[in-house]
Amino acid sequence: MIAARVLLLVALWGCSSEIQRLEATRVISGVDLPGYAMHEECMALERDERISYRFTAQPPVSFNIHYHEGNAVILPIDIASSAEESGVFVADRARGYCLMWEAGAQGSRLDYRVQPLGRQ
């Protein structure tokens, strides 16, 4: 399953557009995810820059924060199933990072908030 997710992420990465900086808090409500669908929120972060994130989903979703290094997809945060999570993520170096949610077979409804916190 993890290998399949990594391959899928690599395929998605090839289609992504230029990643922009997160200049202000983003609050998104009511994202309907059909069965096995994914939703991403990507941003460019500088080294030691922090973001705060929080989400709720019903039914639960898988969640990760990932980045690309060459052909590899690195997941510093990878949660198999959750209906609610929050935390602070610190970038280890300057690059694009993506928060990604994936619904299970039954689909899900997602609400989330991502807020820039500056450097530590």
Note the pLDDT tens digit of each residue in 18-55: 789 999 999 999 999 999 999 999 999 999 999 999 99
Structure tokens at 62: 């898988």
What is the pLDDT at residue 109? 98
Q: Which domains does the chain have, with CATH numbers?
A: 2-119 (2.60.120.680)
**Is the pLDDT confidence value at 11 over 50?**
no
* Peptide bond before residue 34 is cis, with ω within 30 degrees of 0: no
Report the percentage of the chain scoring pLDDT > 70. 86
Across 9-48, where does the E strand assignment appear? 26-33, 38-45
pLDDT for position 19:
86
What is d(CA 54, CA 84) in angstroms, rounded to the nearest whole number? 7
pTM equals 0.85
The answer to whether 91 and 48 have CB atoms below 8 angstroms apart is yes
Phi-psi region of 77 (alpha: psi -120 to 50; beta: other; left: phi over 0): beta
Q: What residue type is assigned to position 26 of the chain?
A: R
DSSP annotation string for 1-18: -HHHHHHHHHHHHTT--P
**pLDDT over 90 at 96, yes or no:** yes
| Per-residue model confidence (pLDDT) at position 4 | 44
Q: Which helix (H) or strand (E) holds 81?
A: strand 72-90
